[in-house]
Amino acid sequence: MSNIKLIDVDGKNYSKVCELYPGDDNISYISKNSDSLLDFHYLKFEGDCLAIYNNDILIGFTMITKCTLPIYIHKFMIDHKFQNKGLGTKSLECI
């Protein structure tokens, strides 16, 4: 059973978020999470950086803007170890 939670990226989890890997097939399509977090901080990104957890296990990362409707997803990634299990779909439903 899955229990998806979206939690703010902070000092406690940012290093683990930076370690997430999209997989060899996807690496050329997505920027590193560390680069995205730097953009968020230094470019004064107006949105949220959220770690995606399933049953308290970090599985992914997303950056969203809530100030526009519909919500704009700047980045969404699921670690390669958790892909093809329906967790990406369940995570998007939580956003």
Whole-number pLDDT of residue 60: 98
Whole-number pLDDT of residue 70: 81
Whole-number pLDDT of residue 80: 98
Mean pLDDT value across residues 4-33 = 96
> What does the pLDDT look like over 24-73, one tens digit per residue?
999 999 999 999 999 888 887 788 999 999 999 999 999 998 776 788 89
CA distance 65 to 72: 5
Q: How many residues does the chain have?
A: 95
Whole-number pLDDT of residue 10: 95
